Structure 1
Amino acid sequence: MLRNTPNSRADDFAKAFMDMQLAIARRAISGWVWPWFELFGSSTAPAMRVVDAFLDPILEDALEKVKSTNMSEQHNKDPVVLHDEVLNIMIAGRDTVSTMLHLRPKRLTQIKTAGMLTIAVYFLSQYPNVLRRLREEILETVGQSRRPTYDDIRNLKYLRAVLNETMRLYPAVPWNMRYAVKDTVFPNSDPTEKPLFIPAGSPVSYSVHCMHRRTDYWGPDAEEFDPDRFLDYRVHKYLTPNPFIFLPFNAGPRICLGQQFAYNEMSFFLIRLLQKFETISLETDSQPPDTRPPAHWANCPGRKGVEKFWPKAHLTLYSAGGLWLKMEAKLEE
Structure 2
Amino acid sequence: MSERTQALGRVMVLMGGWSAERDVSLASGRAVHEALLSAGVDAIGVDLDRAAAQELGHRLVAERIDRVFIALHGRGGEDGQVQALLELAEVPYTGSGMAASAVGMDKVMCKRIWQGAGLDTPAFSVVDSPAAAREAAESMGWPVIIKPTADGSSVGVSKVDEPAGVEQAFREAALHGEVMVEQFIAGGEYTVAILGEQSLPAIRIEASAEHAFYDYQAKYEAEDTGYRIPCGLSDEEEARLAEVARTAFGLIGARGWGRVDFMRDAEGRHWLIEVNTVPGMTSHSLVPMAARAVGVDFPGLCVAILEQTLVNPANLVNPDEASTGGESADGAI
TM-score bracket, shorter-length normalisation: under 0.3
Please identify which structure carries the higher strand content.
2
TM-score, normalised to structure 1, is 0.25
Please identify which structure carries the higher helix content.
1
Larger radius of gyration: 1
TM-score, normalised to structure 2, is 0.25
